[in-house]
């Protein structure tokens, strides 16, 4: 029994490690980051936006997505508290997140990035744990990192980013859970 | 006027002998005989003979005179009137001779003085003429040299004129070249504008590439979301991404090339514009300088022509001066001849004066 359960546990662990999922790699200020494609709805070109009053530094404005207003946040500002500078390759990644209050409802928000590179299929085994450097709350932004062509790509935690964008106080333990 | 020959004059003088003069002559003869007789008694025969001969000679002359007087007395019964007339004539002649002698002497002295003055003047004039001739010769040589210089300057001026005209033509050619350069610059500007339009179009292509890339990534995302069923679409989307990436790289390379070309063209255009500006400035300044030089050359040529005219007039004046000098020389020669003539007149007058004196004495 134990043996079989162990075997099944090993099999599950092996299957979990071999599970393939895709990430979208993008650039912000020369650094590569990634989002799991499961949370990405689509990518749109950087278009004209409407600024809202009393916006935080990280809030970029509102863009029209096929007639629907979508809030756009400056990802670089979220990560470093500095505003990014737009270029001709800038684009907006539209994220579709589960609403914390209603599970059947989706939260749509956009993040402004410098450029998108590619979609990469990876296995869970390739994901390394994000390094703990100083404040744990900061490292909770990342769910892990992978190596692509000798470079490290940080996989961002989209939920933490969402909280951060909504100015919700961070609870490291809760976030970790 | 009474014209008397010498002989008549002498016979008229003889008539002036009076009776008491005859008596005195007889007494003189007798005295001589008495002295001769005395000397014979004193045995001085030589002196006695001499006095005797003298007395005989004197008597002979006396008798001849008496004979002539007798003849005259016989032939001219009115001798006393003739004698008076002769005396009157003699007196008048004497007066005339005195006057003539005085006048002739004065006139002779005056002529001598005049002749001396004329000789002095002639000498001074000769010296002046020598100097004038020397100056005229020097002036002629100077005028000749100035003429040569003016000829050289005229030739140089003509050459300078021709050079200036050639320079003006070259300036015009240069202006035309600069205009051509300007046209090239304008062509470059239009070419640069074309390149700029091309760059804008390349940016449009970039946008299309970006859109394509985003589209392919969206397709990849969709296929990834679908899972196994979306594998085919994923492959297509990946190829599309690769294609768009390649197009993007090519577009970037073209854009870099275009930018470099545009920069080069812009730089070339700037250089050409600067060159045109500098050349135009230089040409304009050169033109104005050349025009000033040409104007100065023309003014100089006019001045030289005026100088040549003035020199010609001066030459004519020199010729006239030569003629005047010749005339003066001729006049001087004439004066010399006149002076010589005056000298001759003076000599004649002196001779006349002597003759007059002689006449007067006679």
> Nearest by CB to B217, which of A88, A89, A116?
A116
Average pLDDT over residues A53-62: 80
Contacts of A73 by beta carbon, 8 Å cutoff, 6+ apart: A58, A59, A60, A109, A110, A111, A112, A161, A165
Given a cut of 50, whether residue A3 has pLDDT beyond it is no
CB contact under 8 A, A38 and B241: no
DSSP 8-state code for residue B72 = H
**In this structure, are strands A106-113 and A68-74 parallel, antiparallel, or unpaired?**
parallel
Q: Which residues of B touch A35 (CB under 8 A)?
A: none
CA distance B137 to B297: 33
Average pLDDT over residues B335-358: 79
Q: Which residues of B touch A38 (CB under 8 A)?
A: 225
> Nearest by CB to B218, which of A21, A42, A89?
A42
DSSP 8-state code for residue B317 = H
Given a cut of 90, whether residue B251 has pLDDT beyond it is no
| Residue A43 pLDDT | 92
| Residue A137 pLDDT | 56
Q: Helix, strand or coil for residue B23?
A: helix
CB contact under 8 A, A37 and B206: no
Given a cut of 80, whether residue A101 has pLDDT beyond it is no
CA distance A45 to B215: 10
Ordered DSSP codes for A60-116: EEEEEETTEEEEEEEHHHHHHSS-----TT-EEEEEEEE-SS-TT-EEEEEEEESEE
pTM metric for this prediction: 0.52
| Residue B80 pLDDT | 65
| Residue B249 pLDDT | 86
Given a cut of 60, whether residue B126 has pLDDT beyond it is yes
Q: Helix, strand or coil for residue B60?
A: helix
Q: Which residues of A touch B220 (CB under 8 A)?
A: 22, 118-119
CB contact under 8 A, B214 and A40: no
Q: Which helix (H) or strand (E) holds B112?
A: helix B79-226
Handedness of CA B272, B273, B277, B283 (dihedral sign): positive
Identify the bridge partners of residue A20 per DSSP, sorted by sequence position.
Answer: A123
What is the band of B66 on the pLDDT scale with cuts at 50, 70, 90?
Answer: low
Q: What is the count of residue pairs from A and B with beta carbons less than 8 Å apart? A: 42
> Nearest by CB to A119, which of B207, B211, B217?
B217
ipTM of the complex: 0.77
Average pLDDT over residues B181-186: 83
Given a cut of 50, whether residue B9 has pLDDT beyond it is no
Each residue of A141-160: pLDDT tens digit? 788 889 988 888 999 888 77
Q: What is the dihedral of CA B63, B67, B72, B73, to 10 degrees?
A: 90
Q: Do residues A76 and A29 lie in contact, with contact meaning Cβ atoms separated by under 8 Å? A: yes
CA distance B172 to B291: 12
Of A172-176, B156-160, B247-251, minimum mean pLDDT range: A172-176
CB contact under 8 A, B221 and A119: yes
Half-sphere exposure of B250 (CA within 13 A, CB side): 8
- Judged by a CB distance cut-off of 8 A, whether residue B206 touches chain A is yes
Of A6-20, A35-49, B109-123, B321-335, minimum mean pLDDT range: A6-20
Given a cut of 50, whether residue A2 has pLDDT beyond it is no
**Encoded tokens for B324:** 């005047």
- Judged by a CB distance cut-off of 8 A, whether residue B225 touches chain A is yes
CA distance B349 to B274: 107
| Residue A81 pLDDT | 62
CB contact under 8 A, A118 and B214: no
* Percent of chain A residues past pLDDT 70, beyond the cut: 72
Q: Which helix (H) or strand (E) holds B31?
A: helix B19-41
Residue of A nearest to B224 (CA): A22
Q: Which residues of A touch B226 (CB under 8 A)?
A: none
Residues B82, B85, B88: CA angle, nearest 5 degrees: 150
- Judged by a CB distance cut-off of 8 A, whether residue A40 touches chain B is yes
- Judged by a CB distance cut-off of 8 A, whether residue A91 touches chain B is yes
Given a cut of 90, whether residue B118 has pLDDT beyond it is no
What is the band of B278 on the pLDDT scale with cuts at 50, 70, 90?
Answer: confident
| Residue A136 pLDDT | 57
CB contact under 8 A, B206 and A116: no
Q: Which residues of A touch B217 (CB under 8 A)?
A: 24, 43, 116, 118-119
**C-alpha distance from B257 to closest chain A C-alpha (Å):** 19
- Judged by a CB distance cut-off of 8 A, whether residue A121 touches chain B is yes
| Mean pLDDT, rounded, of chain A | 77
Given a cut of 80, whether residue B317 has pLDDT beyond it is yes
Contacts of B217 by beta carbon, 8 Å cutoff, 6+ apart: A24, A43, A116, A118, A119, B237, B241
* Percent of chain B residues past pLDDT 90, beyond the cut: 0
Of A41-45, A132-136, B149-153, B269-273, minimum mean pLDDT range: A132-136
CB contact under 8 A, A45 and B213: no
Given a cut of 80, whether residue A6 has pLDDT beyond it is no
| Residue B132 pLDDT | 82
**C-alpha distance from A73 to closest chain B C-alpha (Å):** 19
């Amino acid at each position: 029994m134990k043996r079989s359960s162990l075997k099944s546990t090993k099999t599950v662990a092996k299957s979990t490690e071999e599970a393939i999922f895709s990430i979208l790699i993008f650039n912000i200020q020369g650094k590569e980051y990634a989002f799991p494609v499961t949370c990405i709805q689509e990518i749109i070109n950087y278009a004209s936006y409407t600024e809202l009053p009393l916006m935080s530094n990280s809030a970029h404005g509102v863009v029209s997505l096929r007639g629907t207003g979508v809030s756009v946040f400056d990802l670089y500002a979220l990560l470093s508290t500095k505003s990014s500078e737009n270029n001709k390759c800038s684009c907006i990644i539209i994220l579709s997140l589960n609403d914390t209050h209603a599970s059947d409802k989706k939260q749509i928000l956009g993040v402004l990035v410098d450029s998108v590179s590619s979609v990469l299929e990876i296995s869970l085994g390739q994901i390394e744990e994000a390094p703990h450097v100083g404040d744990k709350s900061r490292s909770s932004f990342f769910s892990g990192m992978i190596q692509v062509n000798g470079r490290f790509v940080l996989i961002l935690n989209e939920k933490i980013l969402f909280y951060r964008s909504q100015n919700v106080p961070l609870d490291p333990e809760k976030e970790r859970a | 006027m009474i014209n008397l020959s010498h002989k008549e004059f002498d016979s008229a003088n003889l008539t002036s002998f009076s009776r008491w003069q005859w008596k005195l002559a007889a007494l003189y003869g007798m005295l001589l005989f008495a002295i001769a007789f005395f000397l014979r008694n004193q045995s001085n025969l030589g002196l006695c003979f001499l006095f005797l001969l003298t007395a005989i000679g004197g008597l002979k002359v006396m008798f001849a005179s008496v004979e002539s007087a007798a003849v005259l007395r016989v032939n001219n019964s009115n001798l006393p009137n003739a004698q008076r007339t002769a005396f009157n004539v003699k007196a008048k002649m004497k007066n005339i001779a005195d006057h003539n002698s005085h006048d002739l002497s004065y006139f002779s002295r005056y002529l001598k003085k005049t002749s001396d003055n004329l000789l002095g003047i002639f000498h001074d004039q000769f010296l002046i003429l020598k100097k004038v001739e020397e100056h005229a010769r020097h002036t002629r040589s100077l005028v000749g040299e100035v003429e040569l210089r003016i000829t050289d300057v005229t030739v140089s001026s003509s050459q300078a004129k021709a050079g200036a005209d050639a320079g003006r033509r070259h300036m015009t050619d240069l202006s035309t070249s600069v205009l051509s350069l300007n046209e090239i610059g304008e062509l470059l500007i239009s070419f640069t504008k074309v390149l700029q339009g091309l760059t804008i179009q390349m940016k449009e292509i970039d946008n299309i590439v970006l859109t394509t890339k985003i589209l392919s990534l969206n397709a990849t995302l969709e296929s990834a979301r679908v899972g196994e069923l979306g594998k085919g679409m994923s492959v297509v989307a990946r190829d599309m991404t690769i294609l768009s990436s390649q197009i993007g790289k090519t577009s970037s390379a073209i854009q870099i090339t275009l930018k470099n070309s545009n920069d080069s063209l812009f730089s070339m255009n700037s250089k050409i514009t600067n060159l045109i500006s500098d050349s135009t400035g230089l040409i304009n300044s050169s033109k104005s300088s050349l025009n000033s030089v040409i104007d100065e050359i023309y003014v100089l040529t006019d001045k030289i022509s005026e100088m040549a005219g003035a020199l010609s007039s001066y030459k004519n004046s020199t010729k006239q001066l030569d003629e005047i000098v010749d005339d003066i020389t001729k006049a001087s020669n004439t004066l010399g001849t006149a002076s010589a003539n005056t000298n001759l007149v003076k000599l004649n007058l002196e001779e006349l004066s002597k003759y007059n004196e002689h006449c007067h004495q006679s």
